[in-house]
A and B are shown apart, each in its own frame.
Chain A
Amino acid sequence: MDTTQLLKGVLDLAVLAVLKEEDGYGYDILRRLREAGLEEVGDASVYGTLRRLFAAGLLTTYVVPSESGPHRKYYSLNAAGRDQLTRSGKTWRSFATTMDTLLDDRGMAA
């Protein structure tokens, strides 16, 4: 099954989860997602998701000047974002459990 298809549905949740532990800028967030195992995620997807979450009022941003390179725009969760993360996380866990059970019942190995 194509992971990119699955990613579309859960990228919001993944980005919110990554930002919960620590604020980050675009490329940083992408790198952390990949390190977490979502290797097929694309830069444009992450950037677009950040823009959308920001427009939806779930993120706040601040700019950190850098001496060596370009300025970096950091994203961080606000209250609404944390709230959204909690709800989406629950939905995902419930969904994942349902899928696991479905597959277990039919003897599919993990």
Chain B
Amino acid sequence: MTVTGQEITDYVGRVRAALADLPPTVRDELTEDLPEHLAEVAAEADGTLVDRLGEPEAYAAELRAAAGAEAGAGPGRRGRRLAAAQARAATQLRALDTQLGPLLGQSSVSEFLRPLRPAWWLLRGWLAALVIAVVLQEPSGLLPRLDGSVLAGLFLLAGTVLASVWLGRRAPGLRGWPRRLLRLGTAAFLIFSFAMLVNVDQHASSDQFGSYQEVAVDRRYDRIEDVFVYDQEGRLVRNAQLFDQNGVPIRLGWPSCLDASGTVPAPRNAYPYCPDRAPFGPPAPAVPTLNAPPAPGASVAPAPGASVAPAPSGSATPAPTVSPSAVPGESTPTPVPTR
């Protein structure tokens, strides 16, 4: 007899492990005679049990089917439903597998994926190196770094890739809980590396100033708080509206003073926001160059030009040039700076 008691015990143990999802009573019922039975089998012919009967897991599956253990004697209703759902999902997955295969030019998707397995091993190694670097709080991009050194990172990368390939070549031999552990670990690992990759990607795609949003298109106008328009006579135009060549309102500055009701007015296309802060006062009363006497005081009624929509007049000409007399220091008498 070439089969030892130890071999039988091991075989029975693995069969029982493969049936671990069954209720204990059902499993015991199924396997209580198994050692004796296997001893009979062993006594009949030569060869190891695995040679004669196949892998214990396959034996367990056949036993389970033959004994009708799924439909059977004791699994709770929830367990049965779970098993049924699992079976349904597996069936659908298999159907999908073969249905989608032709799209990839293969009989099934798994057929297509199988040759790509070594590529997955390499990818996994690379991801592992990145994960290790990130866990060690190293600032990494797409290459892992250790102590800020790319070279050390490359050594790490080589190590993880080799380990991953080794694991990949060994994994098909795993059974029972190591196999389950590997799958669980892989799932967790994938989720973690995805999160990390998103993080790395954000780092890579944003340069340092990218996050600031430009408010003004042209920085030359950044300093402008308010706009004061003077008419030909040097009088302040109130509620002037500014437009560009396309009729789009030109927005400059922001209201910084309180209006009559004591609140800061909302920005609007009517300048100036704060007429009281006009840089130039009203023109001097008697000025020979003026053909009409200006209205007195700051309470100038809106000049006729002010309410005119500038669109037809081709307001492309910048507002300040409308009143050349407003330029300080030139033509002495006209505007008097107030501050």
Which single member of A25, A44, A48, A51 contacts B40 (CB below 8 Å)? A25
Residues of B within 8 A of A70 (CB): 36, 39-40, 43
Instruction: Mark interface residues in A36-53 (1 if CB within 8 Å of B CB, else 0).
Output: 000000111111110110
Chain B contact residues: over half helix, strand or loop, or mixed?
helix
Contacting A at CB under 8 A, from B58-114, are 58-69, 72-73
Report yes or no: B36 in contact with A8, Cβ–Cβ below 8 A.
Answer: no
Residue B53 at the A interface, CB < 8 A?
yes
Report yes or no: B63 in contact with A47, Cβ–Cβ below 8 A.
Answer: yes
Residue A87 at the B interface, CB < 8 A?
no
Assembled-state Cα–Cα distance A70/B259 (Å)? 108
Residue A27 at the B interface, CB < 8 A?
yes
- With A27-B41, A55-B29, A69-B43 already in contact, the answer to whether A48 and B36 are too (CB < 8 A) is no
Report yes or no: A26 in contact with B41, Cβ–Cβ below 8 A.
Answer: yes
Chain A: which residue is nearest B60 at the CB level? A44
Residue B44 at the A interface, CB < 8 A?
yes
Contacting A at CB under 8 A, from B291-311, are none
- With A26-B41, A51-B29, A70-B39 already in contact, the answer to whether A44 and B1 are too (CB < 8 A) is no
Report yes or no: A51 in contact with B33, Cβ–Cβ below 8 A.
Answer: yes
Residue A11 at the B interface, CB < 8 A?
yes
Report yes or no: A45 in contact with B37, Cβ–Cβ below 8 A.
Answer: no
Residues of B within 8 A of A73 (CB): 33, 36-37
Smallest beta-carbon distance A35→chain B, Å: 13
Instruction: Mark interface residues in B3-45 (1 if CB within 8 Å of A CB, else 0).
Output: 0000000000000000000000000011001101101110110
Assembled-state Cα–Cα distance A39/B53 (Å)? 14
Residues of B within 8 A of A49 (CB): 66-67
Chain A: which residue is nearest B44 at the CB level? A27
Query: Interface residue count for A (Cβ, 8 Å)?
Result: 22
Contacting B at CB under 8 A, from A30-85, are 31, 42-49, 51-52, 55, 69-73
CB < 8 Å A-B pair total: 71
Assembled-state Cα–Cα distance A21/B16 (Å)? 33
Report yes or no: B39 in contact with A48, Cβ–Cβ below 8 A.
Answer: no
Residues of A within 8 A of B68 (CB): 52
Smallest beta-carbon distance A63→chain B, Å: 8
Smallest beta-carbon distance A104→chain B, Å: 32
Instruction: Determine which residue in B37, B60, B68, B72 has the highest number of CB atoms from chain A within 10 A of its CB, and name it.
Output: B37
Which single member of A25, A52, A69, A71 contacts B66 (CB below 8 Å)? A52
Chain A: which residue is nearest B62 at the CB level? A44
- With A27-B37, A55-B73, A71-B36 already in contact, the answer to whether A48 and B44 are too (CB < 8 A) is no
A sample of 8 more A-B contacts (CB under 8 A), given A45-B66, A48-B67, A52-B66, is A43-B41, A44-B59, A47-B34, A51-B33, A52-B68, A55-B73, A69-B43, A70-B39
Interface pairs (9), CB distance under 8 Å: A11-B66, A43-B52, A45-B66, A46-B66, A48-B63, A48-B66, A70-B36, A70-B40, A72-B40
Residues of A within 8 A of B (CB): 8, 11, 25-27, 31, 42-49, 51-52, 55, 69-73
The 8 A-B residue pairs with the shortest CB-CB distance in the complex, in nearest-first order? A48-B66, A70-B39, A44-B62, A48-B67, A69-B43, A45-B66, A44-B63, A48-B63
